[in-house]
C-alpha cells in the first residue's frame, strides 16, 4: 500500500466538482452548493495483483464510426487489447471533461510507467451522434489527445441513434435529454460510466467519477496484465 499523490489536475477537478456538476450525474450532490472534496483521490491503493477483478459481463460490440468516418465494429476494436472505454459527449457540461482529463492523465502515466503499454488502449465513445460526427470527434481528439504520448486513444461515435441504442443498452448507459441553458442546445443527462475491458472482451471494472483515478485505473490494468502473465493468453483460453 502506498499513498499516491494528489495531482494538480485533480485540484482543478475538485474546484469544478463542487456544486452542481456531480449533482446532475453522479449522486454526490447534496441539495445545495458544497465545498470541494477535501482529499480528492488521496487514499491508499492496493498493490496491483493483490486483489481480484472478477468478470462482470461481456463487453458489447456494435457499429461505430472512427475519426475518419470508417464504419467499424466496437467488438473488433476491443479485441486483443485491454481497453478503458468511456461514454461521453462533446457538449457535456460537467463530468465528461473530467473523465477525458483523467483519461489523458492515465495515458500519460501509462506511457511513462507501464510496461506493456502497447497492450492498453483508451476509447472515448460519444452517445450524441446527432452532434458528434466523426469530424467533431476528430476535433475533440485533437484537444484531448494530440500532443500527448502513450497508449492509443480512439474517439468514436455511432452512425445514428438507432445503432447507438443497443450499445448503450448493453452497457447499461442511460442517457436522457435535458434542457440546456436558455437559448442554448439541449444537454444529455447521464451517469458517468467508464469500463475496463480485458483482452478477451470481458468487463472487469466499472468506474464512476469517484474512482476514475488514473493511478487506480492503471493499477487495475497492471492487475490484468499480471493475471495474463500467470495464465494462457485470453485468446487461447477462448479456443
Partner 1 sequence: MPAHMLGRTALPLFVACAVVAFGASDTRADETCQSPYMPKITGEEEFVYVWTLGIKGLGDGFDKVVTIDVRKDSPTFGKVVDVDSVGGRHEAHHGGFTDDRRHFWVAGLSDSKIFIFDVATDPSNPKLVKTIDDFTEKSGGIVGPHGAYALPGRVMISGLSNTARDGRTGLVEYSNEGEYIATHWMPTAESTQGAEVEKIADGYGYDARVLPRKNVMLTSSFTGFDNYMRPLGELVQDAEAMKRFGQTMVLWDFHARKPKKVFHVPGVPLEVRWAWGPHNNYAFTSTALTSKLWLVYEDAGTWKAKEVADIGDPSKLPLPVDISLSADDRMLFVDTFMDGMTRVFDVSDPHKPKQIYEKKIGSQVNMVSQSWDGRRVYFTSSLLANWDKTGSDDEQFLKAYHWTGSELTPRFEIDFRAEKLGRPHLMRFGSASLYTN
Query: Rule CB under 8 A: which of 94-133 touch partner 1?
Result: 94, 97-98, 100-101, 104-105, 107-108
Q: Out of 110, 127, 176, 230, which residue is the one contacting partner 1 (CB under 8 A)?
A: 176
Pick the piece of the chain touching partner 1 (CB under 8 A) from 64-72, 75-83, 114-122, 170-178.
170-178
Total of chain residues touching partner 1, rule CB under 8 A: 75
185 binds partner 1, rule: CB under 8 A: no
Closest CA to 160 of 226, 233, 55, 62: 62
Contact 193, 169 (CB under 8 A): no
Q: Out of 2, 38, 183, 230, which residue is the one contacting partner 1 (CB under 8 A)?
A: 38
Q: How far is the CB of 50 from partner 1 (least distance, A)?
A: 7
Report which DSSP code applies to 118.
G
Positive or negative, the CA dihedral 116, 144, 146, 66 is: positive
206 binds partner 1, rule: CB under 8 A: yes
How far out from the chain centre does Cα 204 lie? Answer: 13
60 binds partner 1, rule: CB under 8 A: no
Q: How far is the CB of 190 from partner 1 (least distance, A)?
A: 9
6 binds partner 1, rule: CB under 8 A: no
How far out from the chain centre does Cα 82 lie? Answer: 12
Q: How far is the CB of 23 from partner 1 (least distance, A)?
A: 5
**Cα-based distances in Å from 45 to 100, 172, 216:** 22, 27, 7
Considering only CA atoms, give the Rg of the chain: 18
Amino acid at each position: 500500500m502506498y499513498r499516491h499523490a494528489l495531482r494538480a489536475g485533480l485540484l482543478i477537478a475538485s474546484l469544478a466538482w463542487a456544486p452542481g456538476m456531480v449533482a446532475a450525474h453522479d449522486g454526490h450532490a447534496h441539495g445545495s452548493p458544497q465545498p470541494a472534496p477535501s482529499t480528492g483521490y488521496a487514499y491508499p491503493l492496493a498493490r496491483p495483483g493483490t486483489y481480484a477483478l472478477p468478470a462482470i459481463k461481456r463487453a458489447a460490440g456494435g457499429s461505430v464510426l472512427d475519426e475518419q468516418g470508417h464504419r467499424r465494429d466496437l467488438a473488433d476494436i476491443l479485441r486483443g487489447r485491454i481497453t478503458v472505454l468511456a461514454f461521453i459527449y462533446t457538449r457535456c457540461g460537467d463530468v465528461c471533461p473530467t473523465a477525458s482529463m483523467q483519461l489523458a492523465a492515465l495515458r500519460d502515466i501509462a506511457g511513462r510507467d507501464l510496461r506493456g503499454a502497447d497492450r492498453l488502449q483508451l476509447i472515448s465513445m460519444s452517445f450524441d451522434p446527432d452532434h458528434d460526427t466523426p469530424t467533431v470527434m476528430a476535433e475533440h481528439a485533437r484537444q484531448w489527445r494530440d500532443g500527448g504520448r502513450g497508449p492509443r486513444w480512439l474517439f468514436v461515435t455511432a452512425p445514428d441513434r438507432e445503432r447507438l441504442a443497443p450499445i448503450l443498452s448493453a452497457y447499461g448507459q442511460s442517457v436522457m435529454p435535458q434542457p440546456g441553458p436558455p437559448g442554448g442546445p439541449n444537454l444529455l443527462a447521464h451517469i458517468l460510466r467508464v469500463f475496463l475491458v480485458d483482452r478477451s472482451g470481458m468487463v472487469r471494472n466499472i468506474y464512476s467519477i469517484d474512482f476514475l483515478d488514473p493511478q487506480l485505473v492503471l493499477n487495475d490494468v497492471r492487475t490484468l496484465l499480471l493475471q495474463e502473465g500467470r495464465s494462457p493468453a485470453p485468446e487461447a483460453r477462448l479456443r
